[in-house]
């Protein structure tokens, strides 16, 4: 690594010499005229794709093109929940693969992703919630994913700060291996590791078009910094997927919405797990700094604005207060939104596109942070071999004409 | 002076949508009803055509033609031309009307 290996010993040494020895974690090179693979989008998925292309497939000449700064999209705007409590076997395999990577990636990338497996508890507030929760719990067990059904007493003893009133707690599904990770660290960790393999990370580089050859194959991207030739092109641009597809000449089953996140002022630690309450429309965790990080449903209409609207703000705050009425006087520190790429069945799109030479990774919607290692690994496989990885096959675009959708509405719901 | 309640502060910042029947009303009375002017294919159309109709979206960034319903109001459907970046409402027109001249007719 150009920035040198990070370790406790290194920290001590640099500390003793006034922290003047740390190099930048990645270079800012000039674009080359041609790369074996060009990846559009410098979020977690794009950077992880570059990393796995270099590490797993030995591809050497790779560029990641990011129109702003890396992690400036949804990867730097999410509420950092990682989990694999999905319903269908295809999804469970995908998201648990990602979770297993997260469990060891800090070591692999030599970058502390601050993975905290503090568990995620999905609360059931009505008899119907209990039935659905039991169904999720059973599906998870059948899929080989760790899951526990907790009754109300157990929940109130594990999370004593809960003060249910209008929404009594009847039980809940706990995934202990779920939790949170630091979003920026995931972006920076993959960027630094990719850079160490020679990947060119080109920030401030916006793709404005594609050039195709006589056979219709995309062979170059047009950018504000000139044309860049590409042996293969991967798109990982989340909420901008439709616009890139428009430039390339195909359509996607994607609608872009704003999804908001909220952070309170810091409080003493009182919540050591991730709570999710579909009935009140809110999920919440407490950061190491003591801030409550919380969110809820999508905004009410499609938007590219990257800022949320008040009705959802009020609904989510109200949901939080249903669970913790004592927080009524706590102030909000920050609120923001990202532009998320929502697909009808709440499952991602992975694989080739109708334009030869272009493969895509999108449609993660409200829940793709947890999937970054999987999305990167699978897009890398597609770009390196020209074939979808078996794990990605069910998530191809053709599912919309065969009708073989993977409906994860319940698992995606407000649970991001 | 007592600070205003959260709810009234939110009401004051609420995005207004012009219902052609009731006039401007707060956004949460309305429901977005999808992209406008999407002719349903013939029943004998092939799977690819149906997939296009059912799933593919223009997902316009900028002025978009949309169907809306005043769900918690008069219950009527109508069309909006709405900028999906600024959220500005550029035009309102009836549920059976063609889009006004200010927008280019979309390709289906
Ligand atoms: C508020 C919020 C909360 C969320 N909470 C969670 C959560 O708790 N758990 C979870 O798993 N997921 C969560 N998500 C979803 C998650 O953030 C996303 O699914 C994930 O980050 C997508 O990563 P990405 O790399 O595909 O996209 P992004 O990180 O958005 O990266 C795409 C990049 O492409 C760039 N780009 C776009 N157009 C171009 C162009 N023409 N040329 C060059 N570059 C371009 C953008 O600038 C952007 O940086 C949340 C999302 C939001 C908004
Ligand atoms: Zn009305």
A271-286 pLDDT, tens digit per residue, is: 999 999 999 999 999 9
What is the B30 CA–ligand 2 centroid distance (Å)?
9
Sign of CA dihedral A388, A340, A368, A170: negative
pLDDT of residue B103: 58
Q: Does B16 touch chain A (CB under 8 A)?
A: no
Query: Which of the listed residues A40, A47, A51, A78 should we mutate to test ligand 1's pocket, taking the one with most ligand atoms within 8 A of CB?
Result: A78
pLDDT of residue A61: 98
Contact, A165 vs A321, CB < 8 A?
A: no
Residue B101 pLDDT class (50, 70, 90 cuts): confident
Q: If you average pLDDT over every residue of chain A, what do you get? A: 96
Ligand closest to Cα of B71 equals 2
How many Cβ atoms from other residues are within 10 Å of residue A209's Cβ?
12
A309 has a pLDDT exceeding 50: yes
Q: If you average pLDDT over every residue of chain B, what do you get? A: 88
Of A325-339, A362-376, A380-394, B90-104, which range is least confident?
B90-104
pLDDT of residue A165: 86
Residue B11 pLDDT class (50, 70, 90 cuts): low
Of A160-169, A221-230, A404-413, which range is least confident?
A404-413
* Average pLDDT value for residue range A24-42: 97
pLDDT of residue B106: 53
What is the A46 CA–ligand 1 centroid distance (Å)?
10
Report the distance separating Cα A24 and Cα A40, nearest Å. Answer: 23
Report the distance separating Cα A55 and Cα A108, nearest Å. Answer: 11
B3 has a pLDDT exceeding 90: no
Of A68-82, A158-172, B5-19, which range is least confident?
B5-19
* Average pLDDT value for residue range B33-40: 95
Q: Does A304 touch chain B (CB under 8 A)?
A: yes
**Nearest chain B Cα distance for residue A387, angstroms:** 22
pLDDT of residue A146: 98
Find, in chain B, the residue whose alpha carbon is nearest to that of A345: B55
What residue ranges line ligand 1, CB within 6 angstroms?
A: A 40-46, 65-68, 72-75, 77-81, 206-207, 236-238, 240, 244, 259-261, 295, 338, 340, 364, 366-370, 416
B1 has a pLDDT exceeding 60: no
Of B6, B47, B66, the CB nearest to A401: B47
Determine if the pTM surpasses 0.80: yes
**Residue range B48-82, pLDDT digits in tens:** 999 999 999 999 999 999 999 999 999 999 999 99
- A317 interaction partners in chain B (CB closer than 8 Å): 6
pLDDT of residue A412: 75
pLDDT of residue B4: 47
pLDDT of residue B14: 78
B104 has a pLDDT exceeding 70: no
ipTM greater than 0.85, yes or no?
yes
Query: Which of the listed residues A366, A377, A412, A414 should we mutate to test ligand 1's pocket, taking the one with most ligand atoms within 8 A of CB?
Result: A366
Q: Does A313 touch chain B (CB under 8 A)?
A: yes
Find, in chain B, the residue whose alpha carbon is nearest to that of A313: B10
SS3 string, chain A, reads: CCCCCCCHHHHHHHHHCCCCCCCCCCCCCCCCCEEEEEEECCCHHHHHHHHHHHHHHCCCCEEEECCCCCCCCHHHCCCCEECCCCCCHHHHHHHHHHHHHHHHHHHHHCCCCCCECCCEEEEECCHHHHHHHHHHHHHHHHCCCCCEEEEHHHHHHHCCCCCCCCCCCCEEEEECCCEECCHHHHHHHHHHHHHHCCCEEECCCCEEEEEECCCCCEEEEEECCEEEEEEEEEECCHHHHHHHHHHHCCCECEEEEEEEEEEECCCCCCCCCEEEECCCCEEEEECCCCCEEEEEEEEEEECCCCCCCHHHHHHHHHHHHHHCHHHHHCCEEEEEEEEEEEECCCCCEEEECCCCCEEEEECCCCCCCCCHHHHHHHHHHHHHHCCCCCCCHHHCCCHHHHCCCCCCHHHHCCCC
What is the A37 CA–ligand 1 centroid distance (Å)?
21
* Average pLDDT value for residue range A208-237: 98
Contact, B17 vs B25, CB < 8 A?
A: yes
Sign of CA dihedral A151, A152, A157, A159: positive
* Average pLDDT value for residue range A73-99: 98
The H or E element containing residue B92 is strand B89-93
* Average pLDDT value for residue range A367-379: 98
pLDDT of residue A410: 78
Residue ranges and CATH numbers for the domains of chain B are 6-93 (3.30.2270.10)
Residue ranges and CATH numbers for the domains of chain A are 27-84+86-110+183-253+345-412 (3.50.50.60), 120-177+256-343 (3.30.9.10)
Tell me the angle at which helices A372-385 and A183-196 cross, rounded to the nearest 10 degrees.
30
Residue B8 pLDDT class (50, 70, 90 cuts): low
Report the distance separating Cα A168 and Cα A182, nearest Å. Answer: 32
**Residue range A115-133, pLDDT digits in tens:** 999 999 999 999 999 999 9
pLDDT of residue B7: 52
A103 has a pLDDT exceeding 50: yes
């Amino acid at each position: 690594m150009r920035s040198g290996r990070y370790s406790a010993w290194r920290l001590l040494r640099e500390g003793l010499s006034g922290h003047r020895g740390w190099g930048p974690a990645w270079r800012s090179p000039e674009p080359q005229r041609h790369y074996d693979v060009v990846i559009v989008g410098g979020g977690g998925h794009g950077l992880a794709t570059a990393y796995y292309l270099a590490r797993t497939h030995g591809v050497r000449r790779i560029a990641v093109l990011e129109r702003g700064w890396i992690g400036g999209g949804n990867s730097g705007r999410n509420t950092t929940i990682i989990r694999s409590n999905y319903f269908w076997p295809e999804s469970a395999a995908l998201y648990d693969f990602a979770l297993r990577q997260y469990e060891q990636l800090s070591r692999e990338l030599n970058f502390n992703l601050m993975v905290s497996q503090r568990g995620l508890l999905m609360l059931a507030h009505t008899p119907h919630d209990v039935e659905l929760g039991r169904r999720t719990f059973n599906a998870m067990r059948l899929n080989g994913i760790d899951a526990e059904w907790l009754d109300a007493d157990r929940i109130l003893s594990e999370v004593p700060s809960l003060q249910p009133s209008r929404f009594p707690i009847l039980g809940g599904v706990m995934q202990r291996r779920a939790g949170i990770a630091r979003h920026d660290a995931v972006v920076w960790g993959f960027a630094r590791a990719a850079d160490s393999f020679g990947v060119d990370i080109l920030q401030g580089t916006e793709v404005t078009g594609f050039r195709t050859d006589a056979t219709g194959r995309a062979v170059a991207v047009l950018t504000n910094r000139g044309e860049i030739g590409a042996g293969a092109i991967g798109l990982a641009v989340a909420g901008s997927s439709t616009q890139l597809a428009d430039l390339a000449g195909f359509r996607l089953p994607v609608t872009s919405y704003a999804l908001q996140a909220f952070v309170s002022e810091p409080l003493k630690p009182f919540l050591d797990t991730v709570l999710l309450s579909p009935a009140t429309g809110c999920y919440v965790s407490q950061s190491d700094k003591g801030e409550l990080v919380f969110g809820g449903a999508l905004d009410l209409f499609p938007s590219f604005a990257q800022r949320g609207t008040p009705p959802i703000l009020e609904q989510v705050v109200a949901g939080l207060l249903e669970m913790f009425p004592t927080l009524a006087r706590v102030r909000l520190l920050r609120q923001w939104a990202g532009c998320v790429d929502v697909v009808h069945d709440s499952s991602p799109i992975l694989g080739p596109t109708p334009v030869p030479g272009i493969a895509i990774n999108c449609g993660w919607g409200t829940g793709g942070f947890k999937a970054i290692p999987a999305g990167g690994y699978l897009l890398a496989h597609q770009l390196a071999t020209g074939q979808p990885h078996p794990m990605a096959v069910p998530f191809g675009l053709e599912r919309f004409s065969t009708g073989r959708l993977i409906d994860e509405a319940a698992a995606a719901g407000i649970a991001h | 002076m007592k600070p205003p309640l959260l709810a009234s502060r939110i009401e004051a910042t609420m995005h207004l949508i012009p219902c052609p029947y009731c006039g401007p009303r707060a956004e949460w009375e309305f429901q977005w009803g999808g992209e406008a002017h999407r002719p349903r294919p013939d029943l004998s159309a092939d799977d690819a055509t149906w997939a296009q109709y059912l799933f593919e979206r223009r997902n316009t960034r900028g002025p978009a033609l949309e169907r809306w319903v005043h769900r918690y109001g008069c219950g009527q459907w109508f069309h909006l031309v709405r900028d999906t970046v600024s959220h500005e409402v550029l035009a309102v027109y009836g549920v059976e009307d063609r889009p006004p001249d200010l927008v280019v007719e979309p390709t289906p």
